[in-house]
Structure 1
Amino acid sequence: MGCMGLGGGWDNNPIATAQIQQAHTVIDTCLEQGINLFDHADIYTLGKAEQVFGQVLAERGDLRQQIFIQSKCGIRIGNDDIVGQYDFSKNYILQQADSILARLNTDYIDCLLLHRPDCLMDIDEVAQALTELKNSGKVRFFGVSNMDRYQMEWLQSALDFPLVANQLELSLSKLDWLNQGVEVNVNTSPFASGTLQYCQQHKVQIQAWGCLSQGLFTGRDISQQSLSVQNTALYVAQLATLYQASKEAIVLAWLMRHPAGIQPVIGTTNPSRIAACVEATQIELSREEWYKLYVMARGQALP
């Protein structure tokens, strides 16, 4: 469960009672549906997503042991004083980890991800920060987000413990992670070759953000979209009827059919849509159905 939708808007307005109740409802719905991993980031709704979640934890003392909490740090949002940037400096990582813990009202984070690659990353400095957090018990596991295999290999070389997750944008509308494989010696893909294979080889959990394509294939108005999007949405609907499942389930089942064992991170706060997403765990698309969705979404035949 991606928690970016919690806490209200991306503004400085205080948290309202309704937003705390929303967090309770989302958490309860997820647990009822078998979802127990909650994905945060220090920047989500400018910290309010973690803050409202932490309020729920404060009100329900038994909840913390039932769930796995993941958060991310490393993005510094720009303002009048600083330009927007990425920051993996030791002091900043340690500072943000403490801030996350305070907002979440918890003594430890199950997993901390480095949010986006910092061009000025010093791997020894990062390793010192992560090692301190691990040895102190503040963070149990570590991972990355939006990194390719080479960035992961470089960082891993400085660590005495494994990176356990990589969160990437993967969906039917974001296909470069597949295209880079089938278009070898044909085109140059922006997705670094071998990233999925590296994660599989080293048992790194691949997490997919943006996995529902913001409703592009599950009900959003697509009258102005390309023919490939419209055809894909139509086929998703046909498969949903065939499997007697939701459209969301088909879209996620397509991701989960990949042998990399992709874990979707859903961002909806709508209880009925959360339940619709979970139906994906009961569906295994055939090879023909999987490839048909892929080729339709590509908008062109495979090379």
Structure 2
Amino acid sequence: MNALAIHQHLPTASQIICGCMGLGGGWDQQPINKTHYHQAQQFIETALATGINYFDHADIYTFGKAEQVFGQVLAKQPSLRDQMIVQSKCAIRFDDDSGPKRYDFSKKWVTQSVDGILSRLGIEYLDVLQLHRPDPLMELAELAECLTSLQTSGKVKHFGVSNMNHHQIAYLQSALDRPIIANQIEISLQQLGWLDHGVLAGNPAGEHGNFCAGTMEYSQLNGVQIQSWGSLAQGLFSGRDVSNQAEYIKQTAKLVANLAEQYNTNADAIALAWIMRHPANIQPIIGTANPERIKRCAEASKVKLSREDWYQLYVSARGEELP
């Protein structure tokens, strides 16, 4: 398997990323307690023990509590920071007295967001800052100045984006003298738009896909690491009850289970290995905070599906044969 594109910037990065959205308790205003702390501690230690050293945050996760409890663990075990790559995202603003839920790439908001992230995590810098979703009111020169200032000050080492197509990435990159190193998009056996746009090129069946054709190719040509969120489709093919699902989903879940037995691994690992088999060497993000499931997911790094098994999963998950 070829090296990850991100390795030229972060050579020690693991191919699997642990998403931190499940930390800090619920999406409420309840304070962090000892149970939340011990969950985060076990989460971090399990990930590192299995070889996963990349952690993905966002300032909105559990209203900031995910970063806060992660920071509490680092405060008590500061040596852990040197063993990990820490990434966070900003720019989503929830509805408040000033307006509805919205996206904000203004210099003021991004700057104060990074300061808040670093404060909650209790660290001096982020390895990667990602802009969470595209802001149609982005002022390119202003944002470029902001990102340059964040890097010059030492608060951010590298920059990425999330949920952007290649046109948006290229436009942002045109104003930066440093590379955009990652793009985080939804990819799983359930979300197939990233593949279908290529496979259905010139086919009317691909007319209404909500994934911009060329994003995968642009990323591979320009060294932009694709990271996948929603990688396990909330366990749809690896243990969730599918009795009320469509027949093709039931069949796909059964196929995943059969392949897990064939490759001497588990269903979560197969679902991730399918993503990782693509030549773009996608970094799947796993959202579980369950230590045992983290261990199961880590096994994906040891699995390389055959071409035939990969296509078998793709066709099954589509629910119909390829054109």
Alignment of 1:116-195 (within 5 A): 116-186=133-203, 187-188=206-207, 189-195=209-215
Structure 1 stretch 87-96 or stretch 186-195: which is displaced more? Answer: 186-195
Matched position secondary structure for 2:19: coil
Of structures 1 and 2, the one scoring higher in RCO (CA 8 A, sep 6+) is 2
1:123 Cα deviation after fit = 1.3
- Counterpart mapping for 1:1-303 below 5 A: 1-186=18-203, 187-188=206-207, 189-303=209-323
Which residues of structure 2 form unaligned runs of 5+? 1-17
Instruction: Give 1:80 shift.
Output: 4.7
Query: Aligned residues, how many?
Result: 303
TM-superposed CA distance for 1:29, in Å, is 0.1
CA–CA distance in structure 2, aligned partners of residues 92 and 259 of structure 1: 36
Question: Aligned partner of 2:251: which letter?
Answer: N
How far apart, in 1, do the equivalents of 2:111 and 2:234 lie? Answer: 33
Identity of matched residues, %: 56
- Cα shift readout 1:56-99 (whole Å, capped 9, x = no counterpart): 11111211111110000000011354210000001100010000
- Counterpart CA distance in 2 for 1:114 and 1:180 is 24
Q: Classify the secondary structure of the residue corresponding to 2:273.
A: helix
SS at match of 2:259: helix
The letter of the residue matching 1:129 is C
1:211-243 deviation line (CA, Å, top 9, x unaligned): 000000001011111111111000000001111
Which structure 1 residue ranges, 4+ long, deviate > 6 Å from structure 2? none
* Residue identity opposite 2:245 in structure 1: Q
Find the residue that maps to 1:71 and give its secondary structure.
strand
Cα deviation, residue 190, structure 1: 1.4
Whichever residue aligns with residue 292 of structure 2, its letter is: S
DSSP 3-state at the match of 1:62: helix
